[in-house]
Structure 1
Amino acid sequence: MIYIYNDYGGTHTTALAAAYHLKELDQSERELTKEEILSVNYFNKLTKKDFGKIIFHGIDENGDSVYTIGRKSSKLVVPAMKNLILLIQSKHPIPEQIIFSNTSPTVPIAMSIGGFLSRGLKIDFLGVPLLVIGGKQCCDNIFRLVENTKRTAQSSKEQVTILDNQEFK
């Protein structure tokens, strides 16, 4: 199984989702601390040149790979990737199931503004505190999204599954 968490920038909610998935963050629904949020791999570290790159985060307890991708505002990236994967698999079968899980619905306004200030305008002294506030606000939803993603992956018979996760808004 291959998990790919995706959102606009690929450096905030996706990084938190990957950390929860890999049990690098406490597996509970409690609010994260500032230190926990800022210590997550890739959290607020990616730049514009990283958009569209599939970034490996690790192997989970079941031996499944966990990745993230920042897709910008394009709604076409994930469906295009699904179609490419299905095309390749029709010629060269791969036994791996692939799960795309959208973390965008979990993004609070504080994180959107903080990400814009920090990553877009390079104003970290304003952006990072907002990112921490946003991370604390959405950690429960991200935790639940990851748990739902894992459950769905185990029950899916599809070669490629796309989860839009709108129920986590």
Structure 2
Amino acid sequence: MIYIYNDYGGTHTSSLAAAYHLKQLPQSEMKLTKDVILNVKYFNKLTKQDFGKLIFHGIDDEGNAVYTIGRKRNKYVVPALKEMILLLQEKFQVDEKIVFSNTSPTVPFLMSMGGFFSRGLKIDFIGVPLLVKGAKQCCDNIFRLVENTKRMGSTSSLNENVIILENDMFK
């Protein structure tokens, strides 16, 4: 199975989700510290050149690959990827299940503003503290989102090779 966490930039909530998934963060709804947040791989490190690229984060304890992708505001990226995957699975007789999980519903306003200042305007002294506060606000939701994503991946119908989770319940 392949898990792909996606959001606007691919560098904040999706990076935290990948880190939770790979057990690189505490496996609870406990609040994260500034140092822990800033040491998450790719957190606030990707640039506009990384939009649309699948970023590999690692292999989980069940042998599943974990990726992230920044899709900007384009609502067609994930459906287009799904169609491409289904085409390739049919052509090459591959049965690999792929789960797309949208982390955007977990993004608080502070994180949006922090990302705008830090990634958009390159003003880290304003953006990074906002990102950290935002990450602290939403880390419990991200943890629950990841747990739900893994549960849906393991329990969804075997006939469904590509699963898209919008995760609207985390808004």
TM-score, normalised with respect to structure 1 = 0.99
Query: Following TM superposition, by how much is the alpha carbon of 1:19 offset from its aligned partner in structure 2, in angstroms?
Result: 0.2
Matches within 5 A, 1:1-169: 1-157=1-157, 158-169=160-171
Amino acid at match of 2:166: D
Secondary structure at the residue paired with 1:87? helix
Any unmatched runs of 5+ in structure 2? none
**Runs of at least 4 residues of structure 1 off by over 2 A?**
none
Secondary structure at the residue paired with 2:122? coil
Q: In the TM superposition, what whole-angstrom CA distance separates every residue of 1:53-112 from its partner, at most 9, and x where no partner exists?
A: 000000000000000000000000000000010011111121210000000000000000
Comparing 88-97 and 4-13, the one that deviates more: 88-97
Amino acid at match of 2:161: Q
Aligned length: 169
Secondary structure at the residue paired with 1:58? strand
Q: In the TM superposition, what whole-angstrom CA distance separates every residue of 1:116-149 from its partner, at most 9, and x where no partner exists?
A: 0000000000000000000000000000000000
Taking the aligned partners of 1:109 and 1:46, their CA distance within structure 2 comes to 20
> RMSD across aligned C-alpha pairs, in angstroms?
0.4
Taking the aligned partners of 2:49 and 2:80, their CA distance within structure 1 comes to 20
Taking the aligned partners of 1:59 and 1:153, their CA distance within structure 2 comes to 15
Amino acid at match of 2:111: M
Secondary structure at the residue paired with 1:19? helix
Taking the aligned partners of 1:135 and 1:9, their CA distance within structure 2 comes to 14
Percent same amino acid at aligned positions?
72
Taking the aligned partners of 2:110 and 2:139, their CA distance within structure 1 comes to 13
Taking the aligned partners of 2:115 and 2:146, their CA distance within structure 1 comes to 21
Amino acid at match of 2:162: V
Secondary structure at the residue paired with 1:75? coil
Amino acid at match of 1:58: G
Taking the aligned partners of 1:72 and 1:87, their CA distance within structure 2 comes to 24
